[in-house]
Structure 1
Amino acid sequence: MACRIGELVLGCREPEVLARFWCEVLDFVVLGREDDGSMEIGPREGFGGPQPTLFLSRRDEPEQGKSRLHIDVNPTDRDQDAELERLLALGARRAEIGQTGDEQWHVLADPEGNEFCLLKGRIDPV
């Protein structure tokens, strides 16, 4: 039997801010809160479903160095341009990492600067 990803953990200064952002981006809900302010968000069916949850681990200081893991998202119910506008309106911002301009994806950053990519292809939301 193989493993599968159950949750992704993201260290952050303001879990509430990132929870609002990522819940809107991914159509997730808050699944739980810890005493230290950390939060778990995920699909409505909760932990263990077809998608991993996202655990926003509260940190007073950002971890040193560049994160080696980032999230890629795909639009589900609109084209890439419309989804890009939606993400920017939610608080994402464009990130420059040396793109040529010919890529079929957009590099963005969430409100705390964590990079993620908006891919072109639409996928089934389920």
Structure 2
Amino acid sequence: MQSKDAAARLGITQRMLRHYEAEGLMQVARGTNGYRSYSPSDLRRAARIRDFIATGFSTREIHAMRACLSDDGSGPCSGGIEKLTEKLAHIDRLQAELDAKRTAVLQRLYTLRQGLDATAAE
């Protein structure tokens, strides 16, 4: 399958597919014409990369979990559970920070509204 069709099937751009390859996350065969040719296995690998990126992983982090991208083996990949657990902890920290900021903004709004209400009452 050529890159245009592969990208369409995966819901990403051809540029993203080339980026995955440039980052060393994929090695795609080329036809005699020099065009990339994506196998079903390549599509599954690219889908896994796409899904990791969608959940917040950088290509550098995904590179460290290369074993999680292949079709080899049926058990958990090397380091996958640890990396996913770390990412979840990171997301939880970010969410807690955002919740604290949201609370601070709500408190500030309340204070400002109270001040405006007091001014309007005078």
Structure with higher Rg: it is: 2
Under a length normalisation based on structure 2, what TM-score does the superposition of the two structures give?
Answer: 0.25
The structure, 1 or 2, with the larger RCO (C-alpha pairs under 8 Å, 6+ apart) is 1
More strand per residue: 1 or 2?
1
